[in-house]
Each structure stands twice: as C-alpha cells, then as structure tokens.
C-alpha cells in the first residue's frame, strides 16, 4: 500500500503541476497572445500528464490520480473499497503540494496576483465564460461519466493491451477542449482542491460542486459499466491495471 500511495501522490502532483501549471505559466504568458499555448495547449498538457502518469505508475497503483476515478473503480470492483480513503487523502495532498509549487513559482513574476489567476474551477462569475451552476454541474457529471467509462473500458482485460494510457490521456484532452470555457474543467476533485485555496476569488466556496459533480458522474459509470458491458474479470482485490504494463 505504501508504494501504491506514493505512486498516487506523485501522479496527482504531476497532473496538477503539468495541467494547471501550463494554464498559469504558458496559456497567455505575455501581452502578445500569439506566444501562448491557449486552450488547446492546456488541454494537451492535462492529457499528457495522465498519459505519462498511467504508463509510469499505473502498474503500481492503477494510475487513478483522481478521487472520482477511485470511486468509480471501487464501484466497478476494480479496486478494493478499503483502499479508497487512503487514495483520496493522498490524491488531495498531491494536488495541494502541486498547487503550492505553482503558487511559489508564479510569485516569482513581478506583478503577479494569485487571486483569480491559478486555473481554479468555477461557475457563474467564476466560470471563464459565465456559465451557470446548472450548466457546470451537468457538464462535470456527464464528462466524468464518459471519462470513467473510457477508463474502465480501456483497462478491461478484454481490451487491447498496452493502449490504456493513450486512450485515457486523449479522452482527458478532449474533455478539456469541451469544457475549459465552461468550468475550467475539473472532472477531478483533487485537481480542483489543489489550486482553489491558493487562487481564492470564490474558488474555495464553489469547491463543493467540483467534488459532488465528478463523484456523481463517476459513481454512475462505476455502477453502469458492468451492467452494460459485463465482467471481463473480477478485480476486487487489486487495482486497475494494464496487463501489458505488468509484464
């Protein structure tokens, strides 16, 4: 378990550092917006962190890096329930440490103000384009639901081996392309928590949505996946893994 938690900590740290760090440092680093990576670049950054993290650490912990993924995996009997509290705590800590690192680096730029500039998630006035609470909640539930279906399908023992990380990373990229303008994209409570308190500007007060909605979407997927697609293998006593990586 210690090794699994270490993998989840590092993987979640990498996800938040890579994804939110790209949004803070590279999305629009100068008045000349042509040098920034924009929404597309940030979307790719999040996808690449998960892709690389799954291949590096998936064989150890299952490569969740996300409390919603752990919940969905537990409901689908891909990880043991007793691991869930420890995974959640470790994932949140990894996100918070990454948020602190981003904050410390960003403060090194003259004139930088953390308030409202640390890639926090939000709705209403704190949504990038002013989307309502209902719109944000529906988006987060639906996209987390799809994300979990892809994760459970790509890691099913009936799936082609060796491609799980690629499928999961590209799906997260697409999710960000859809929803950055809506909510700044969460689908991951640890990612949202990691930067909310450093960002301020209403983000901590709205954090509940970015826990509740992803967990609801993941729970629905975890329950429905085996009902819709059957069981390839019962994995209640070990984490989600790609068999090709185990070899």
Q: What pTM does this model have?
A: 0.89
| CA pair distance 245, 56, nearest whole angstrom | 9
Q: For 66-107, what is each residue's pLDDT tens digit?
A: 999 999 999 999 999 999 999 999 999 999 999 999 999 999
Q: For the chain, which domains are there?
A: 1-229 (1.20.1080.10)
pLDDT at 33: 59
Q: For 163-213, what is each residue's pLDDT tens digit?
A: 999 999 999 999 999 999 999 999 999 999 999 999 988 899 999 999 999
- Residues 6 or more apart whose Cβ sits within 8 Å of residue 190: 12, 15, 16, 65, 66, 67, 88, 91, 92, 94, 95
Q: Provide the angle, in degrees to the nearest 10, between the axes of the packed helices 164-183 and 133-154.
A: 180
Select from 228, 52, 101 the least CA-distant residue to 153.
228
pLDDT at 28: 74
User: Do 69 and 190 meet the contact criterion of CB atoms below 8 Å apart?
Assistant: no
Given a cut of 80, whether residue 148 has pLDDT beyond it is: yes
Residue 141 tokens, joined: 């539930």
Q: Where are the beta strands (DSSP E) in 177-230?
A: none
Residue 162 tokens, joined: 């060796």
Residue 135 pLDDT grade (very low, low, confident, very high; cuts 50, 70, 90):
very high
pLDDT at 237: 42
């Amino acid at each position: 378990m210690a090794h699994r938690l270490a993998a989840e900590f590092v993987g979640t740290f990498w996800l938040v550092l890579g994804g939110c760090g790209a949004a803070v440092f590279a999305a629009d680093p100068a008045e000349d917006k042509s040098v920034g990576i924009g929404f597309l670049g940030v979307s790719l950054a999040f996808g690449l962190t998960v892709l690389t993290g799954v291949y590096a650490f998936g064989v150890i912990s299952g490569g969740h890096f996300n409390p919603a993924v752990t919940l969905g995996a537990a409901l689908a009997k891909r990880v043991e329930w007793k691991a869930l509290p420890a995974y959640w705590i470790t994932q949140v800590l990894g996100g918070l440490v990454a948020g602190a690192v981003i904050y410390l680096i960003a403060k090194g730029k003259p004139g930088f103000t953390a308030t409202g500039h640390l890639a926090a998630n939000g709705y209403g006035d704190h949504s990038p384009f002013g989307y309502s609470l209902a719109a944000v909640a529906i988006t987060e539930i639906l996209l987390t639901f799809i994300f979990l279906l892809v994760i459970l399908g790509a890691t099913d023992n009936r799936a082609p081996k060796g491609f799980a990380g690629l499928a999961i990373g590209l799906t997260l990229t697409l999710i960000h392309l859809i929803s950055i303008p809506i909510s700044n994209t969460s689908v991951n409570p640890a990612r949202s928590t990691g930067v909310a308190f450093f960002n301020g500007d209403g983000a901590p007060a709205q954090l509940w949505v970015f826990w509740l909605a992803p967990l609801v979407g993941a729970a629905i997927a975890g329950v429905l996946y085996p009902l819709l697609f059957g069981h390839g293998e019962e994995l209640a006593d070990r984490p989600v893994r790609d068999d090709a990586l185990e070899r």
